[in-house]
Structure 1
Amino acid sequence: MSKSTMFKSAALALAVSATNLVMAADTIKVGVLHSLSGTMAISETTLKDTMLMLIEEQNKKGGLLGKQLEPVVVDPASNWPLFAEKARELVEKEKVDAIFGCWTSVSRKSVLPVIEELDSLMFYPVQYEGEESSKNVFYTGAAPNQQAIPAVDYLMNELGVERWVLAGTDYVYPRTTNKILDAYLKAAGVAEEDIMVNYTPFGHSDWQSIVSDIKKFGSAGKKTAVVSTINGDANVPFYKELGSQGISSEDIPVVAFSVGEEELSGMDTGPLVGHLAAWNYFMSVDSEVNDEFIENWHSFIGNEDRVTNDPMEAHYIGFNMWAKAVEKAGTTDPSAVQDALIGVSVPNLTGGLSTMMPNHHISKPVLIGEIQDDGQFEVVSSTSGLVVGDAWSDFLEGSKDLISDWRQPLSCGNYNVKTATCSGQNF
């Protein structure tokens, strides 16, 4: 090869490299970290599609800071360690400016050290157990005081429930939530023998003996209910077995924290009618902003039969908060956006405004919905106003004295108000 040819080749390579850098600089990359395969795909695939819709809509408005948004989608395949690997790939290799993702708490716990090490941003859209606060994570799903506690209050005060089955999938979210609920119930005077706790693995399918035990537990002459933190596709055989054993919502009502419209769309809803779910949003909510969201969703997905659900609304809120904070900060730099996010308010889909609080949780209404035979929910109870999410439970020793406030000068995720000390960045 002649020197002239070598120089031309080198110049071409440099030109291509420079062009690629310019193209990368001309877009703002947004990471989408949701399982598209495995046991959680039943719930998470829709959230990937929601993010693609939100990004497309923002680009039609002109993008952010004069740049178009570019989604970068990865599939951690319901494999919890793989979530951490994919998060690192998104930040280090793909150079995303923010990540929207995870469903289970075990996946979020896997990602958390990576996000903090790289000082990136993640928006987490699903109800969770609390007991955590990170400067790098913004929690747009419900904390226990925005879902679990109000659900128990409804069952206790409106339905007269006295015996409690706490049934969950065996991982951190159900175990910690049930620990909080156990303490809350006992503080309300519920006896130890009136609380039954059961855990099953992800994807559990043989519910016959467990449902039989629930039925027996509920035959003691006291009104009994199931508080369900069962997650993923295990819900399908669970509800099917309830119907097979003749357990109706009048006999033993179930209130679920992980069953929404998307999960119901794949089930025979006949045996489920009358059972309950606690969320901060239902598709059936009557508001102009919800009507517009549903219309946009159907147009984007090309199917008017597709439903919406609570975690979709959480992504809607989180994405719009991030976009507003980026415009406010004038940059996508994570540190600047973290500071800009606190105090940002955007519309939620029930018709009000949700605000990002100093503890990186948001304010939301709490709704109790009753399953209808068309797979939708009729709202039977709602809070009179918005509830601010608690990072730390008021009902657990070691947590009730903690607060989270990421504003200066405190800038602490677990500040002990009794000892006036900050014991670390997060949990």
Structure 2
Amino acid sequence: MDWGSVRGLALAGALGAGTVLAGPLSASADDETIKVGVLHSLSGTMAISETTLKDVMLMLIEEQNKKGGVLGKQLEPVVVDPASDWPLFAEKMRDLVSAEEVDVVFCCWTSVSRKSILPVAEELNTVVFYPVQYEGEESQRNIFYTGAAPNQQAIPAVDYLMNEEGVERWVLEGTDYVYPRTTNKILEAYLKSKGVADEDITINYTPFGHADWQTIVSGIKDFGSAGKKTAVVSTINGDANVPFYKELANQGIDAADIPVVAFSVGEEELAGIDTEPLVGHLAAWNYFQSVDTPENAEFIETWQAFIGDEDRVTNDPMEAHYIGFNMWVEAVEKAGTTDADTVIDALIGVSVPNLTGGYATMMANHHLTKPVLIGEIQDDGQFEVVWETPGLVVGDEWSDYLPDSRDLIANWRAPMSCGNFNIATGECGGKGGS
């Protein structure tokens, strides 16, 4: 399928990492501990999603310290709260690297917060792991994208609805910022490439924290009454999801009539919702808590023991932090240093177990190999997997469906070392990479 395509040039050499020579120790690695920055919103509209990511990072650090730490040193978490304030992310990022002298930062949920810290990460040359699905159209040397690119979530979800559910009309409903807008631009182009007419696609955006969904949901209901199977593709983020799903139930929209597939709703978000009226609605991720593997069972047990709550759920971005953290540990140990340049080079080709029974590999474009899962909401707030890709999908940083992107690839392995190499012109440059 289109979403599984792999560009050979972009990925050449990604799995064949050679010997990494240790560079100089960084400043904080010379001290008694190695500092790990944790930059997630603990207040504001995104706290509903990001607080758990802070918690799982503390768990991962604690577990690693029980094993002896990294390079014989204990890890010291440095947690800051950018409070869902996008410019504040850049300020807090600078404080973490310059003042606190952290060696790595695990960061962010929204794309606008990631783009806020990106120039700071580049200027100060630090290593950043970003654990959430995003819109693609970017590959930066300092950022490792452990969440899904559009071909690892959005496009497979649309394929599922089109091929398995017979969907012909599409509501693209999102929060008004870069991730939903760019993802929907890609999806609109993809749907039209599949023969979907303009009048069968409607797109709408609302602000962060939007609460009054009555008119919008009524419009969705009207759009779905044209005699063609209709679905909602949701890129709504944060706490706005709670009133959105409540209004769907209030207006009697169930999954049999107009299914909703969400890209930012997982187990944590459903924990605050009466899920009984939502049974059958969908989410597309690369991991669900309900996945039955020994690795996942151990992770859930460790998580619930750490948090002191046997009902506390896990979710996809937590698995992405689990993968990214373990990759960072392996790369640092392999390199023998926390020096950013050396670790960045060492990360390419690193493979670690995921929680679904396979391995995640960091490719030369700084994206992972991932399975894609479609889950159906159950009345207990968990997801039943109803579909999955037959194998792993390589994250595609530049969309094949946008004219300005289809000729771009990223490969951070020397000698290319470029985030936006144009295969048509043979030049490195342009948008979204550096």
**Which TM-score applies when normalising by structure 1?**
0.94
SS of match in other structure, 1:284: coil
- Larger RCO, structures 1/2 (Cα 8 Å, 6+ apart): 2
Distance 1:412 1:223, change over 3 A: same
Which amino acid in the other structure matches residue 130 of structure 1? G
The corresponding residue for 1:17 is: none
* Correspondence for 2:136 among 118, 130, 147: 130
Contact kept, 8 Å, 1:135 with 1:425, in 2: the verdict is no
Contact kept, 8 Å, 2:326 with 2:352, in 1: the verdict is yes
Superposed CA RMSD in Å reads 1.1
Deviation (angstroms), 1:270? 1.2
Deviation (angstroms), 1:426? 3.8
Distance in 2 separating the partners of 1:425 and 1:243: 42
Distance in 1 separating the partners of 2:366 and 2:77: 24
Alignment of 1:97 with 2:97, yes or no, is no
SS of match in other structure, 1:43: helix
* Correspondence for 1:412 among 401, 410, 418: 418
Deviation (angstroms), 1:22? 9.4
Deviation (angstroms), 1:180? 0.1
Which amino acid in the other structure matches residue 363 of structure 1? T
List alignment gaps of at least 5 residues for structure 2: 1-26
The corresponding residue for 2:19 is: none
Deviation (angstroms), 1:317? 0.1
Alignment of 1:365 with 2:371, yes or no, is yes
Deviations 1:285-344 (A, max 9, x none): 010000000000011000000000000000000000000000011000010000000000
Alignment of 1:223 with 2:223, yes or no, is no
Contact kept, 8 Å, 1:273 with 1:373, in 2: the verdict is yes
Question: After TM superposition, where is structure 1 displaced by more than 2 Å over at least 4 residues in a row?
Answer: 21-24, 424-427
1:22-171 alignment runs, 5 A limit: 25-171=31-177
Distance in 2 separating the partners of 1:375 and 1:291: 18
Matched residue count: 407
Deviations 1:213-237 (A, max 9, x none): 0000000000000000000000000
The corresponding residue for 1:193 is: 199
Distance in 1 separating the partners of 2:431 and 2:276: 47
The corresponding residue for 1:328 is: 334
SS of match in other structure, 2:171: strand
Which amino acid in the other structure matches residue 218 of structure 1? G
Larger Rg: 1
Deviations 1:29-59 (A, max 9, x none): 0000000000000000000000000000000
SS of match in other structure, 2:58: helix
* Correspondence for 1:398 among 393, 404, 413: 404
* Correspondence for 1:239 among 227, 245, 260: 245
The corresponding residue for 2:346 is: 340
Deviations 1:191-229 (A, max 9, x none): 000001000000000000000000000000000000000
Distance 1:407 1:277, change over 3 A: same
The corresponding residue for 1:180 is: 186
List alignment gaps of at least 5 residues for structure 1: 1-20
SS of match in other structure, 1:165: strand
Distance in 1 separating the partners of 2:137 and 2:217: 30
Which amino acid in the other structure matches residue 406 of structure 1? W
The corresponding residue for 1:258 is: 264
Distance in 2 separating the partners of 1:243 and 1:266: 15
Distance in 1 separating the partners of 2:29 and 2:176: 45
Distance in 2 separating the partners of 1:351 and 1:61: 23
Distance 1:417 1:312, change over 3 A: same
The corresponding residue for 1:379 is: 385
SS of match in other structure, 2:79: strand
Distance 1:163 1:93, change over 3 A: same
The corresponding residue for 2:220 is: 214
The corresponding residue for 2:295 is: 289
The corresponding residue for 1:274 is: 280
Distance in 1 separating the partners of 2:85 and 2:404: 31
Which amino acid in the other structure matches residue 227 of structure 1? V
User: Identity of counterpart residues, as a percentage?
Assistant: 79
